[in-house]
Amino acid sequence: MVEALLDTLGLTKTVELLSLQPPGWGGNLLRGLANSLQIAFGAFGFGLLIGLGGAYGKLYGGPILRDLLTIYTTVIRAVPELVLILILYYVGTDLINQAASAMGYGRVEISGVAAGIWVLGVVQGAYATEVLRGAIQAIPSGQLEAARAFGMPPLMTLRRVTIPAMMGFATPGLANLWLIATKDTALLAIVGFSELTLETRQAAASTRAYFTFFLAAGALYLIVTLFSGVIFGRIEKWARRGQPSLREGNG
Amino acid sequence: MTGWRALLLPHRLLLMALFAGFVIWCALSLRWDWLPDYLPLAVEGLWRTIWILAVTCILGFLLAIPLGLAQAVGPWYLAAPARAFCTIIRGTPLLLQIWLLYYGFGSLFPQFPWIRASELWPYLRQAWPYAVLALTLSYAGYEGEVMRGAFSSVNKGQLEAARAFGMPRRMIFRRVWLPQAIRNVLPTLGGETILQLKATPLVATITVIEIYAVSSRVRADTFIVYEPLLLLALVYMIIAGIIALIFGRIESRVPNRRQG
């Protein structure tokens, strides 16, 4: 019955092309999606670490550190991701190869996942710095002063006061960053890493069914986006628990 | 300590000296002998980048106004498609959209004889119409969302006052609603335009020769990696700076609430 329905809709060929078994390309697309998500997760996490360090440096660091961080965030935000990806990719491979030859090893092949995480993580870090800096500044200063007055060491203050208190302010910005991370993985297609977009293009080019595959990949990206929206909505609700809603506050 | 005097702090002078040293080192010890050969191509590419940026931003913004209006105050049968369009554009990578349009329609059109016979065919065979279309739709999708917020944030009293003066609806839109909406989102528009600039190199993947494609060609021809990329990054930073300056100038000219 399902086949008859597909036949009348003229979708039999589409289903064949997208099937998970080898004549179809669905398996390749899903593998590409898994690669994309892996890199997006890694880059987002790496970016958060850089961002937290960068935000602390910008808020509490010395003048030189602050100026350097300003240069970092300004340059990264003004230069296209594609150019940055190429520069960081070449710099990363050159540095690792020089280090390897200095230690007496031969040329090292760098895994695409590691390169992608490094490249996108550095880009994400610049945006995360700004998001987290704003969120930390939005914490009522009395809370941090109280923590200091109780004699909490800085790391404990970070873990117990700063991060929980800023989560509510940072979540919308971080949700945006996560979406940018998932979409930026597509750029790695240009340096030849087989994530979803490149897998899609290969499948499309070898079957000439461009619309089928690009629309299918678009649907996969859209599912990730919509699903992330739901998750981040939950996180924000959780992070803002106990805080008065902004909407009610404004009347 | 604002403005130019802040640049004269000792650590800033030190940083500037270091930076100047880096620039001089770049100029002296890196290879720039390829530059004269590729300069005409680079200028052409730069011109094409700016042209694509300007055209897609203007067209995209014109498309974003109805999209935002439909979402802010439109009936559901206009609001729902507009929202779906914005969600789809914002939820999928631009690279995928560009490839969908170029490879998808590029492989579809030749199958129809009447399209091949039409006067548009010489244009449809080239890459740039697809590039312009994809970037325009992308900008419209992001801006539609911005304009939705802008239209609904305009003070209701202003619109009521305009209506009380007996202005027709079109005039209210043209003289009161739209100017105030745009004024409210000018800073966002500046940022989005810089994001659009950063999206232009993607069209190099469908054989549009803009400035990024020129640098790729230098890399492929001469195997020089860093020099073209550094120069390219500098060019993009300069364009981004100019865009920021232009929007800053516009913002300072537009009267805001505090000045009355």
Residue B128 predicted with pLDDT over 50? yes
The correct answer on CATH 1.10.3720.10 for the domain covering A27-239 is: yes
Torsion, CA B109, CA B115, CA B119, CA B122, rounded to 10 = 30
Task: State residue A251's pLDDT score.
Answer: 35
Q: Which of B11, B96, B230 is facing A64, going by the closest CB pair?
A: B11
Residue A10 predicted with pLDDT over 80? no
B80 within domain boundaries: yes
Q: Which residue has the higher pLDDT, A108 or B134?
A: B134
Residue A13 predicted with pLDDT over 80? no
B4 within domain boundaries: no
Return d(Cα B100, Cα B97) in angstroms, integer: 5
Q: What is the CATH number of the domain that holds B75?
A: 1.10.3720.10
Which residues in chain B are closer than 8 Å to A68, comparing Cβ atoms? 15
Number of domains in chain B: 1
B14 within domain boundaries: no
Could you tell me the pLDDT band of residue A9, with boundaries at 50, 70 and 90?
A: low
Q: Which residue has the higher pLDDT, A103 or A6?
A: A103
Residue B28 predicted with pLDDT over 70? yes
Which residues in chain B are closer than 8 Å to A83, comparing Cβ atoms? 201, 212, 229, 232-233, 236
Residue A250 predicted with pLDDT over 70? no
| Percent of chain B topping pLDDT 70 | 97
Residue B250: partners with Cβ closer than 8 Å, 6 or more residues away: B186
Return d(Cα B199, Cα B32) in angstroms, integer: 27
Out of A13-22, A34-43, A163-172, A237-246, give the one with best mean pLDDT. Answer: A34-43
Q: Under an 8 A CB cutoff, do A225 and B91 touch?
A: yes
Domain boundaries, chain A: 27-239
- Are the C-beta atoms of residues B207 and B127 closer than 8 Å to each other? yes
B59 within domain boundaries: yes
Range of the domain at B117: 36-259
pLDDT digits (tens, 9 = 90+) for A16-60: 777 666 667 778 888 889 989 999 999 999 999 999 999 999 988
Q: Which of B46, B95, B108 to mutate to test the interface with A (most CBs of A within 10 A)?
A: B95
Q: What's the burial of A199, exposed, middle or buried (CB within 10 Å: 0-12/13-18/19+)?
A: buried
Q: Under an 8 A CB cutoff, do A197 and B226 touch?
A: no
- Which of A233-244 are b and which e, b meaning 16 or more Cβ less than 10 Å from the residue's Cβ? eeebeebeeeee
Helix, strand or coil, per DSSP, at residue A105: coil
- Are the C-beta atoms of residues A119 and A85 closer than 8 Å to each other? yes
| Percent of chain A topping pLDDT 90 | 28
B253 within domain boundaries: yes
Q: What percent of the residues of chain B are helix, what percent strand, and what percent coil, each to the nearest 5?
A: 85, 0, 15
Q: Which pair of tokens denotes residue A137?
A: 């500044």
Task: State residue A2's pLDDT score.
Answer: 65
